C-alpha cells in the first residue's frame, strides 16, 4: 500500500501530467474551460475502462459541495480519501481556484460555484463518454456503473427506478451493481434487472456475486460477465453493498443476504482467470476503505472500481498490484482508465478523473431529449418554489451540513419534539445563497421508500446507545465492520465524539440544546426522525414535513451550528 508521502508525490505528478493546475485568474480559467481541455489525454494500451458511480438518479445538472470533514481511523487516518478542503488541494497538487479545486474540494465552494457553474447532468455525461468512444473506438471502451443509480430523486421514486433504467440503457452502460436499488424491493429489482436465470427490462447487466438466497445459499444474480474489448477478455465481477440488509429495512429483501464474502471473491477471480480473462475488474459498492483492505487480501484483481462512499480521487490508489479507483458521485465525475495488458498482466496504465462541468460541456442531443421527455410531466411541480435560501445548503460530510440541520429543525418544529434524528445519508444536491428551494431540491435530499417522520419517546441512556452504535459503524478501525453511511445528524442535541476511542466509549457530554442541561439517562425525551428501519412506523413523509416548514420560513437564513464536538486521540 502507498504511504501518504508516496501518494502525494504520485498524485501531484499525475495532476501535472494531464494538464491540471494551469490556473490564472478564475475568469481566465473559466474562459479556457472546454471539452477538449477536460479530455486532454494520450491514449494507452488496448482497453479503456469508463466508470461512474452513486449518481443517485440525478438526471439534470446541479451544485454539489464535497465534504469538509471525512475522518479516517486506524491505518486509514491521514490517507486519501480522508483529506479534505485545503489539505486535499495541497496533497493533490491542485492550483487553488482552478476547476479541479472546485470539483474535488469544499474550499471556497460558493465563489467557485458561481465561477464554474453546475456539475453533472446525464446528457453531459453522454457527451464525454461519446467523445472518448470516438477517439478510442467503442470496441475498446467498457462503460460501467457502480450502483446507487435508481434512487435519489422524485422521478426515480415515482417510476420505481424506471426513469434511470432508460437513461443507463441510452448511455449504453454495460454492467452495474447495487445498493439503494434494493430499497425498491426484491420484486422490482428483479423486474428491472432480472436474476441469474432470466433477463429483466434493462439491457445493462446487473452483477452481484455476493447476493445469496437465505434458504439455499444460492446466487440470486449473475456474479460476473466476460466482455471482449480491444482483443482482450475483461472479466467484471459485481459486488453489491455488503450490509444492505442491515442498513435498510429487512422487509425489502426478506429472502436475500449479502456480505463481503472475501473467499467467494477469491474463488471467482481464480475461476475467471481459468476461463481466459486477461483483465479482472471488481465493480464494487463496498466503500473505499473496504476495497482498499480487500485489495490487499485477495490476489489477482487488476482493478477495483469503488463506490458507496462518494469519494473522488484524482489518482488510483495502488495496493500491491491492484488499482483502486474512486469516481465521486451525483454524475459529477467520469473516471477514464486506459490499460496496457500483456500476456494476462497489466503492464501500464493512464488515468484521468474527468469533472463533468455542465456549463462547459454541451449536452448530447439524444440524452437531452430523453431527459426532457422523462421530466416533462412533473416539470411544473418540481420547479415550484417553497422558500429561498440566504445561506449555502449542503449535506456531504461525516457529521452533516447545513441542509441536514435544516431538516432536523423542520422535524423538531413540525413534529413538536425536543430532539431530532436525520439519517447519515450522503446524497442530495447543494444550493447557493439566493437560490429558490423547490420540490425538486427537497426530493433530491429525501426521496426514499420508507420516509415516515416518526415521533416517539426515548430514554436518555438509549439516546447514547443509538449514537454509540452509529459511531462504531462509521469509525470502527477495521473497515470490514463499517456498515453504513455517515454519522446520524442530530437536532436539539449536542455531544462530544472521540472517533479513535474504543467501542462504547466514543460518545459523551450529551446536552439538550434548548435548556443547556445534560441529558438525564433515566428521563424520557420526545424524539422525531425519519428513515426508521422498524415495521409499522407512523408519520407523514419527511418531504411534506420539510415543505411545510419551508413555506412558513419563506427565507432560510444561517442554520449552521456546532452540535458535534470532535476530539481526536
What was the pLDDT predicted at 28?
A: 38
Residue 161, Cα to own-chain centre: how many angstroms? 17
Flag whether 232 is in a domain: yes
**pTM of the complete model:** 0.93
What was the pLDDT predicted at 10?
A: 32
Q: What is the mean pLDDT of residues 315-333?
A: 97
Residue 21 has pLDDT above 90, yes or no: no
Residue that is last in its domain, among 373, 404, 434? 373
Give phi and psi for 552, each to the nearest 5: -75, -40
Tell me the pLDDT tens digit for each residue of 478-518: 999 988 779 999 999 999 999 999 999 999 999 999 999 99
Flag whether 378 is in a domain: no
The set of residues, in sequence order, having a beta carbon less than 8 Å from that of 311 and lying 6+ positions away, is 70, 80, 81, 288, 326, 328
The set of residues, in sequence order, having a beta carbon less than 8 Å from that of 476 and lying 6+ positions away, is 73, 482, 503
Do 251 and 359 belong to one domain? yes
Do 365 and 447 belong to one domain? no
Q: How confident is the model at residue 560 (pLDDT cuts 50, 70, 90)?
A: low
Tell me the pLDDT tens digit for each residue of 89-117: 999 999 999 999 999 999 999 999 999 99
Do 126 and 105 belong to one domain? no
What is the spatial distance between Cα 310 and Cα 81, in angstroms, rounded to a whole number? Answer: 10
Q: How confident is the model at residue 1 (pLDDT cuts 50, 70, 90)?
A: very low
Flag whether 89 is in a domain: yes
Give phi and psi for 488, each to the nearest 5: -55, 140
What was the pLDDT predicted at 563?
A: 86
Tell me what the pLDDT averaged over the chain comes to.
92
Q: Which residues of 497-531 are buried (b: 16+ CB within 10 A; e: fewer)?
A: bbbebeeeebbeebbbbeeeeebeeeeebbbbbbb
Do 368 and 388 belong to one domain? no
Pick the closest to residue 430 from 396, 384, 393, 405 (CA basis): 393
What does the block give as the cell for 434? 439566493
Do 122 and 104 belong to one domain? no
Q: Which CATH number belongs to the domain containing residue 230 in this structure?
A: 3.60.21.10
Residue 20 has pLDDT above 70, yes or no: no
What is the extent of the structural domain holding 367? 33-39+48-62+118-373
Do 140 and 225 belong to one domain? yes
Q: Which CATH number belongs to the domain containing residue 535 in this structure?
A: 3.90.780.10
Q: How confident is the model at residue 562 (pLDDT cuts 50, 70, 90)?
A: low
Do 198 and 283 belong to one domain? yes
Residue 15 has pLDDT above 80, yes or no: no
* Domain total of the chain: 3
DSSP 384: -
Residue 27 has pLDDT above 70, yes or no: no
Neighbour-count burial of 218, counting CB atoms closer than 10 A to its CB (0-12 exposed, 13-18 middle, 19+ buried): exposed
Q: What is the mean pLDDT of residues 166-176?
A: 98
Q: What is the mean pLDDT of residues 429-443?
A: 97
Tell me the pLDDT tens digit for each residue of 325-354: 999 999 999 999 999 999 989 999 999 999
Q: What is the mean pLDDT of residues 34-59?
A: 91
Do 329 and 439 belong to one domain? no
What is the spatial distance between Cα 385 and Cα 379, in angstroms, rounded to a whole number? Answer: 12
Flag whether 212 is in a domain: yes
What is the spatial distance between Cα 247 and Cα 183, in angstroms, rounded to a whole number? Answer: 10
Do 299 and 415 belong to one domain? no
Tell me the pLDDT tens digit for each residue of 251-273: 999 999 999 999 999 999 999 99
Do 399 and 352 belong to one domain? no
Residue 3 has pLDDT above 90, yes or no: no
- Give me the percent of the chain exceeding a pLDDT of 90: 89
Tell me the pLDDT tens digit for each residue of 118-137: 999 999 999 999 999 999 99
Flag whether 398 is in a domain: yes
What does the block give as the cell for 443? 426530493
Residue 13 has pLDDT above 60, yes or no: no
Q: How confident is the model at residue 33 (pLDDT cuts 50, 70, 90)?
A: low
CA angle 299, 303, 307 (to 5 degrees): 115
Do 425 and 335 belong to one domain? no
What is the spatial distance between Cα 497 and Cα 147, in angstroms, rounded to a whole number? Answer: 31
Task: Give me the residues paired with residue 206 across strands.
Answer: 176
Residue that is last in its domain, among 373, 408, 430? 373
Residue that is last in its domain, among 315, 350, 373? 373
Do 292 and 337 belong to one domain? yes
What was the pLDDT predicted at 5?
A: 41
Amino acid at each position: 500500500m502507498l504511504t501518504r508521502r508516496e501518494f502525494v508525490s504520485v498524485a501531484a505528478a499525475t495532476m501535472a501530467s494531464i494538464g491540471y493546475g494551469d490556473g490564472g485568474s478564475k475568469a481566465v480559467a473559466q474562459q479556457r474551460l472546454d471539452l477538449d481541455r477536460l479530455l486532454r489525454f494520450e491514449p494507452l494500451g488496448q482497453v479503456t475502462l469508463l466508470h461512474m458511480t452513486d449518481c443517485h438518479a440525478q438526471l439534470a445538472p446541479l451544485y454539489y459541495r464535497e465534504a469538509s470533514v471525512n475522518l479516517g481511523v486506524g491505518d486509514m487516518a491521514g490517507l486519501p480519501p480522508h483529506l479534505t478542503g485545503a489539505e486535499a488541494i495541497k496533497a493533490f497538487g491542485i492550483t487553488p481556484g482552478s476547476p479541479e479545486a472546485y470539483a474535488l474540494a469544499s474550499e471556497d465552494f460558493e465563489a467557485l460555484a458561481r465561477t464554474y457553474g453546475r456539475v453533472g447532468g446525464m446528457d453531459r455525461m453522454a457527451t464525454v463518454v461519446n467523445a472518448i468512444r470516438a477517439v478510442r473506438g467503442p470496441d475498446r471502451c467498457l462503460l460501467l456503473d457502480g450502483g446507487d443509480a435508481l434512487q435519489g430523486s422524485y422521478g426515480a421514486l415515482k417510476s420505481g427506478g424506471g426513469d434511470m433504467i432508460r437513461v443507463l440503457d441510452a448511455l449504453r452502460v454495460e454492467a452495474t451493481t447495487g445498493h439503494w436499488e434494493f430499497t425498491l424491493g426484491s420484486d422490482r429489482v428483479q423486474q428491472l434487472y432480472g436474476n441469474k436465470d432470466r433477463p429483466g427490462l434493462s439491457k445493462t447487466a446487473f452483477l452481484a456475486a455476493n447476493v445469496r438466497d437465505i434458504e439455499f445459499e444460492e446466487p440470486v444474480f449473475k456474479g460476473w460477465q466476460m466482455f471482449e474489448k480491444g482483443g482482450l477478455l475483461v472479466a467484471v465481477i459485481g459486488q453489491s453493498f455488503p450490509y444492505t440488509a442491515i442498513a435498510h429495512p429487512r422487509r425489502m429483501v426478506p429472502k436475500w443476504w449479502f456480505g463481503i464474502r472475501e473467499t467467494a471473491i477469491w474463488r471467482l477471480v481464480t475461476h475467471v482467470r481459468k476461463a481466459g480473462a486477461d483483465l479482472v475488474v471488481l465493480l464494487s459498492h463496498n466503500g473505499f476503505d473496504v476495497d482498499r483492505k480487500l485489495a490487499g487480501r485477495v490476489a489477482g484483481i487488476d482493478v477495483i472500481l469503488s463506490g458507496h462512499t462518494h469519494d473522488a480521487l484524482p489518482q488510483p490508489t495502488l495496493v500491491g498490484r491492484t488499482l483502486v479507483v474512486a469516481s465521486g458521485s451525483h454524475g459529477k465525475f467520469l473516471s477514464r482508465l486506459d490499460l496496457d495488458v500483456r500476456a494476462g498482466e497489466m503492464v501500464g496504465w493512464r488515468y484521468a478523473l474527468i469533472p463533468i462541468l455542465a456549463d462547459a460541456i454541451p449536452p448530447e442531443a439524444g440524452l437531452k431529449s430523453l431527459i426532457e421527455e422523462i421530466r416533462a410531466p412533473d416539470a411544473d411541480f418540481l420547479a415550484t418554489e417553497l422558500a429561498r435560501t440566504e445561506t449555502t445548503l449542503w449535506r456531504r460530510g461525516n457529521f452533516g451540513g447545513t441542509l441536514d440541520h435544516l431538516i432536523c429543525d423542520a422535524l423538531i418544529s413540525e413534529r413538536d419534539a425536543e430532539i431530532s434524528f436525520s439519517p447519515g445519508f450522503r446524497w442530495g444536491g447543494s444550493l447557493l445563497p439566493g437560490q429558490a428551494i423547490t420540490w425538486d431540491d427537497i426530493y433530491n435530499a429525501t426521496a426514499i421508500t420508507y420516509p415516515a417522520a416518526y415521533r416517539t419517546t426515548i430514554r436518555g441512556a438509549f439516546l447514547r446507545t443509538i449514537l454509540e452504535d452509529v459511531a462504531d459503524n462509521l469509525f470502527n478501525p477495521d473497515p470490514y465492520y463499517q456498515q453504513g453511511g455517515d454519522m446520524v445528524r442530530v437536532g436539539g442535541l449536542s455531544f462530544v465524539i472521540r472517533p479513535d476511542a474504543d467501542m462504547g466509549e466514543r460518545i459523551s457530554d450529551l446536552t439538550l440544546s434548548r435548556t443547556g442541561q445534560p441529558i438525564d439517562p433515566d428521563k424520557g425525551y420526545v424524539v422525531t426522525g425519519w428513515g426508521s428501519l422498524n415495521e409499522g412506523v407512523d408519520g407523514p413523509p419527511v418531504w411534506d414535513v420539510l415543505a411545510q416548514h419551508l413555506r412558513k420560513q419563506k427565507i432560510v437564513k444561517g442554520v449552521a451550528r456546532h452540535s458535534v464536538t470532535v476530539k481526536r486521540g
